[in-house]
Structure 1
Amino acid sequence: MDERAALDRLADRLSHAGDDAAVVDGLLLTTDMLHDRTDFPEGTTRYTAGWRAVGASLSDVAAMGGDPVAAVAVYGAPTFEYDEIAAFVDGACDVCDAVDSQYVGGDLDGHEEFTVSSTVVGRAEKPVLRSGATPGDAVCVTGTLGRSGAALRLFRDGDIERANNLFRFEPRIEAGRTLAGEATAMMDSSDGLARSLHQLAEASDCGFAIESPLPIDEVVDEVTSDAAERRELGVFFGEDFELVCTVPESRFDTVRSSLSVSLARIGTVTESGVTLDGSPLSDSGYTHGK
């Protein structure tokens, strides 16, 4: 079975399982594992790896409208090179600094493949769940889509510095905190826009009517040759860590103006089905371990 199927079967056994993070006595707890084969393409610097690994867990806290308290990480590699470890820690510290959190340490271990496991603890008085979307709400997404997919194309083409820059995303902690008082449902887009919409629809027992144009990053247009490629990177690829949320239609303009990051209205919550421009949108996206 794939990652999603395994998690679905395990969910009933985990009493504190939340959505993007577990909720325990007002605390948010989340952990992520990333490794060379599926997460760090050739050319990824250790600085970018530290930023991205810890950033992925910070994004889970953002997706529930929380404030991150602290992060730790486990660093496993075939050999320990001080400069590489120091660069990793610098990246982890800098992404935490960017969202007013702190990186407080971790562990080192030998491993046949460079592998990182990051954990973040956060707080949220009223965590935003995936289950509150209501027909008539506006469907929204922060920032732009397709950055990570575009970065992989740049890594492939040898534009390493630019690829690393694209690969370092800023977790949407501030946006999540603001949306916490307004959003009826929310999650991050780590598995892609399409899969996120299907997960929200299942949790909220609703549907979504999504309409073009979507806020696809301009770099995607530089690295793709046709509309099908553009759609693949912007809609299905994932790993962008933007927030996908629903807000009451009457509050959309107010919410958008209150954020320091862009918020695009991409559709409407419906009774059932997930469509893009009137056609069914397949439930596919990024899968770990593939």
Structure 2
Amino acid sequence: MDEQTALGLVGDRLAAAGDDCAVVDGQVITTDMLHERTDFPDGTTRYTAGWRAVGASLSDVAAMGAEATAAVAVYAAPTFDESELSAFLDGATAVCEAVGAEYVGGDLDGHDEFTVATTALGETDDPVRRSGAEPGDALCVTGTLGRTAASIRLFDRGEVEAANELFRFEPRVAAGLALAPYASAMLDSSDGLARSVHQLAGASGCGAALTEPLPVDERVDAVAEDAGDRRELGLFFGEDFELVCTVPESDLAAARDATPCPLHRVGSVIEAGVTLDGEPLPDRGYSH
């Protein structure tokens, strides 16, 4: 099975699965695993790894419109180097503090590859799910697209200081809380904008019509080979951890005013099909 099929199997078996977090008695909970070979390019500092690993789970909490409360992590490595472990803890703690949560520990394990498994908790009495979009809603995304793609290209070029800075994103917890009263559906963009829109449309039983220009990060321009590459990095690369949401047209202005970061309209919810400028948009994005 590919990843999407495997996720479908899990969702079919477990009623609580399928959103960015499971919801249990007013709490949301999520877990993620990242590996050195697939998730941390050469040059990634342990500080950045701690920030990014924990941030990925906090992003899921944000997508539910929940208040982030705490996070833990399993830190597995071939050896326990004091400076590396300390830097990891500093990064994990810092990203939690950035969103008003607390990093409260986890577990240590020996492993032949540096690997991190993170879990984050949040609280909400009214979670925003992926399944509430209605035709006529505005389709929106926070921030910009392609930030992670740009950082990977910088890592490849050996520009590790700039790459690490870009790799450390701030989870959109504040934005998720601000959008919660207005959003009919929401998820994070870890799989890329295109796949995220397909996921939202599938969960809501509707379609989406996107229109260009899309809010591609200006730093993508410095690393993209041409216009087609820029589009690829913005639409399909993924791992940006922005929020993709739908908002009733009547609430869009209020949602924009409430959101503490840019909220860009990228299209509209329609009855069926996912398109970009009238052409079918492939269900393609980040895969493990």
Amino acid at match of 1:205: G
SS at match of 2:236: helix
Amino acid at match of 2:32: D
Residue 238 of structure 1: aligned partner: 238
Identity between Structure 1 and Structure 2 (%): 67
Residue 33 of structure 1: aligned partner: 33
Distance 1:123 1:137 in 2: 26
The 5-angstrom pairing of residues 59-78 of structure 1 reads 59-78=59-78
Distance 1:219 1:286 in 2: 20
Amino acid at match of 2:41: P
Runs of 4+ in 1 over 4 A off after TM superposition: none
Residue 135 of structure 2: aligned partner: 135
* Long gaps (5+) in structure 1: none
**Correspondence 1:123 to 2:119:** no
Residue 200 of structure 1: aligned partner: 200
Residue 184 of structure 1: aligned partner: 184
Contact kept, 8 Å, 2:172 with 2:243, in 1: the verdict is yes
Distance 1:24 1:4 in 2: 24
SS at match of 1:129: coil
TM-score normalized by structure 1?
A: 0.98
Q: Per-residue CA shift, 1:68-94, capped at 9, x if unaligned?
A: 111000000111101000000000000
Distance 1:208 1:16 in 2: 25
How much does 1:121 deviate?
1.2
Contact kept, 8 Å, 2:10 with 2:17, in 1: the verdict is no
Residue 21 of structure 1: aligned partner: 21
Q: Per-residue CA shift, 1:15-69, capped at 9, x if unaligned?
A: 3225000111111010000011110000000000000000000000000000111
Amino acid at match of 1:118: T
Distance 1:19 1:90 in 2: 29
* Long gaps (5+) in structure 2: none
Amino acid at match of 1:86: S
Distance 1:240 1:2 in 2: 22
Distance 1:26 1:5 in 2: 29
SS at match of 2:43: coil
Q: Per-residue CA shift, 1:166-216, capped at 9, x if unaligned?
A: 000000001100111100000000000000000011001111110011100
Distance 1:2 1:55 in 2: 25
How much does 1:4 deviate?
1.9
The root-mean-square deviation of aligned C-alpha atoms, in Å, is 0.7
Contact kept, 8 Å, 2:11 with 2:18, in 1: the verdict is no
Residue 109 of structure 2: aligned partner: 109
Distance 1:141 1:106 in 2: 32
SS at match of 2:222: helix
Residue 263 of structure 1: aligned partner: 263
SS at match of 1:237: coil
Amino acid at match of 2:10: L
Amino acid at match of 2:110: G
**Correspondence 1:173 to 2:158:** no
Residue 145 of structure 2: aligned partner: 145
Amino acid at match of 2:163: A
Residue 248 of structure 1: aligned partner: 248
TM-score normalized by structure 2?
A: 0.99
Residue 100 of structure 2: aligned partner: 100
Contact kept, 8 Å, 2:179 with 2:258, in 1: the verdict is no
Distance 2:274 2:43 in 1: 37
How much does 1:128 deviate?
0.3
Residue 224 of structure 1: aligned partner: 224
Distance 1:15 1:69 in 2: 24
Amino acid at match of 1:280: P
Distance 1:213 1:4 in 2: 28
Larger CA deviation: 109-118 vs 14-23: 14-23
Distance 2:250 2:281 in 1: 26
SS at match of 2:212: coil
